[in-house]
Structure 1
Amino acid sequence: MPSRGRFRLTPEQAENSVYNALKDGYRLIDTAHIYGNEEAVGKAIKRSGVPREEIFVTTKLWTEDFSNAEEEINNMLKRLDLEYIDLLLLHHPADHDKEAYKAMEKAVKEGKVKSIGLSNYYEKEFAEMMKIATIPPAVVQNETHPYNQQKTEKVYFDKYGTVLESWYPLGGRNRYGRGGKDTLFNDSTIVSIAKKYNKTPAQIILRWHLQDGNIAIPGSSNPAHIKENIEIFDFNLSNEDMKKIEALDKKQRFSTF
């Protein structure tokens, strides 16, 4: 499912980005309370004219909301101006996260939320959550890209039917415009494969995610990049090229949090 992440965008940028993405064919939108743009996402969905049932909306409970998660879920629905949330995640492991997870399970039973999951949880934290969970996480959203492929985590999560969702799928870029994206886009292996298929490094990386079974949520406020990132369905990477990218795994994270 083509997707857009809404991290580090102003409300105005987020609204325009979501609107442009929906017009270009994206149908998964990722936001969070801490991003401060849930209202903008809701406005863009209404503005787009795309039927609600065709759009998959993900948002996340911030750690400070864990102790009053039921109330915050209702607040999220109001900010998004939606009757239900397609996927709700716990943003980070923190105190009261098990209480918050139980609140999300209750929201599923009440029809306020369709599915639930985790973000920035690894094997240890995931195992702790599974001690109390009655609904296994649909996804775990972690930093994943060719330099940090989460191979062992994917095998572990798969035991529970949980899918890996990739934030920073292109390596990310910080508020100063620097980050792992530049490193990945200039990696000689990725550049060589991009030339072979007459595609950009971004398109090669996103195609790798797709064929590797990851859900990728790239984010951009640039209409040209939004369009570029979705144009990955007209080619397939060969097994040989998939193995070349697999060999790039360094278990290297680019995020600073």
Structure 2
Amino acid sequence: MTTPPLTLNNDVVMPALGLGVFQTPPDETRAAVAAALETGYRHIDTAAAYGNERQVGEAIAAASIDRSDVFIETKIWISDYGYEQTLHGFDKSARKLGVEQIDLLILHQALPSEFGKTLEAYRALETLLADGRVRAIGVSNFMVEHLTRLLDAATVVPAVNQIEVHPYFQQREVQDFGAEHGILTQAWAPIGGITFYRDSGHTSTLQDPTIGEIAVAHGKTPAQVMLRWHLQQGRSAIPKSVRPQRIAENFDVFDFELTGEELAAIDGLDTGKRGGPEPADITLAAFGRPIPEK
């Protein structure tokens, strides 16, 4: 079983489904990535701010899989924004990952309070792309206003915008803007980010009756239904888990298809309530922290 490919706007091919390692402790990351690669994943998503790039690289190096067959995605944290700082941020990530080339390098946040630094960071990504040190570049948590300002200054259209997308928070305006400009939407928290929603006054997506009924109809789990919803609508999805059984379950989504009515029913669950932090609230004062050299 292989992950369906998605072709980015610069013709780089990326597996649609990847393993995320957000909040995965370094000592658990290696085993989680190894389990994912053994299951069949060929796309791993990490970030400088996660503190586990080294363990991701070690798991990939230890696997009996050619490096060229694994798509590595990572992110530059806001503390390393600025042209020279971002070039150095790449060097730190590549060194920890143990690779010379990163498949997809993205900016982790828009940093709207200091957007000039964001633009300089993206200019560095363009340099890295031109030099062949990365194969594709993109952004994360950019809203329409951020994408508009970026496109006005950039020479390379981002290949990907990784944002919070799940049945309860779909960000259709951002997705539609991306589609109009050839920017692929990649979903973080694709099955609901339930840790964010425990105190939000509504149920988890995993307990949603509409999703549950669809899951029963297909003999699948609610998580598998949500991942299938993403894939059928053309998004990349980055589920995370450290449990081999759940990692395998999240990969077992290629042998069934949701109907148009089922897709529409899930579309109708949007609450408009964000689970993660507001992109406008990301500042260096509140969220900045140094990214270690090693």
* TM-score bin (small chain): over 0.9
Residue identity opposite 1:34 in structure 2: A
Matching of residue 71 in structure 1 with residue 71 in structure 2: no
Compute the displacement of 1:178 (Å). 4.8
Matching of residue 113 in structure 1 with residue 134 in structure 2: yes
Question: Retained in 2: the 8 A contact 1:179–1:254?
Answer: no
**Residue of structure 1 in register with 2:285 after alignment:** none
What CA distance in whole angstroms lies between the structure 2 residues aligned with 1:231 and 1:71?
Answer: 38
What CA distance in whole angstroms lies between the structure 2 residues aligned with 1:234 and 1:214?
Answer: 17
Compute the displacement of 1:173 (Å). 4.0
1:23 to 21, 38, 43: 38
Matching of residue 137 in structure 1 with residue 158 in structure 2: yes
Secondary structure of the residue aligned to 2:204 is: helix
Q: How many residues align?
A: 256
- Within a 5 Å distance, the mapping from 1:37-52 to structure 2 comes to 37-52=52-67
Question: Retained in 2: the 8 A contact 1:33–1:59?
Answer: yes
**Residue of structure 2 in register with 1:213 after alignment:** 234
- Within a 5 Å distance, the mapping from 1:145-224 to structure 2 comes to 145-174=166-195, 178=198, 183-224=204-245
Secondary structure of the residue aligned to 1:131 is: helix
Residue identity opposite 1:115 in structure 2: A
What CA distance in whole angstroms lies between the structure 2 residues aligned with 1:251 and 1:64?
Answer: 30
Q: TM-score, normalised by structure 2?
A: 0.84
Question: Retained in 2: the 8 A contact 1:41–1:80?
Answer: yes
Compute the displacement of 1:160 (Å). 1.5
Compute the displacement of 1:206 (Å). 0.4
Flag the 1:245–1:213 CA change in 2: closer, same or farther, 3 A: same
Compute the displacement of 1:49 (Å). 1.6
Question: Retained in 2: the 8 A contact 1:88–1:117?
Answer: yes
For structure 2, list consecutive stretches of 5 or more residues without a partner in the other structure. Answer: 1-14, 279-294
Q: Percent identity?
A: 38
Question: Retained in 2: the 8 A contact 1:172–1:179?
Answer: no
For structure 1, list consecutive stretches of 5 or more residues without a partner in the other structure. Answer: none
Flag the 1:182–1:83 CA change in 2: closer, same or farther, 3 A: farther
Q: TM-score, normalised by structure 1?
A: 0.96
Of the structure 1 ranges 213-222 and 177-186, higher mean CA displacement relative to structure 2 is found in: 177-186
RMSD: 1.7
1:249 to 270, 282, 292: 270
What CA distance in whole angstroms lies between the structure 1 residues aligned with 2:277 and 2:138?
Answer: 23
**Residue of structure 2 in register with 1:61 after alignment:** 76
Question: Retained in 2: the 8 A contact 1:170–1:206?
Answer: yes
Secondary structure of the residue aligned to 1:134 is: coil
Matching of residue 102 in structure 1 with residue 119 in structure 2: no
Compute the displacement of 1:156 (Å). 0.9
Compute the displacement of 1:179 (Å). 7.4
1:85 to 95, 98, 102: 102
**Residue of structure 2 in register with 1:9 after alignment:** 24
- Return the structure number with greater relative CO, CA threshold 8 A, min gap 6: 2
Compute the displacement of 1:174 (Å). 3.5
Compute the displacement of 1:5 (Å). 0.5
**Residue of structure 1 in register with 2:287 after alignment:** none
Question: Retained in 2: the 8 A contact 1:87–1:117?
Answer: yes
What CA distance in whole angstroms lies between the structure 2 residues aligned with 1:174 and 1:191?
Answer: 19
Compute the displacement of 1:135 (Å). 0.8
**Residue of structure 2 in register with 1:236 after alignment:** 257
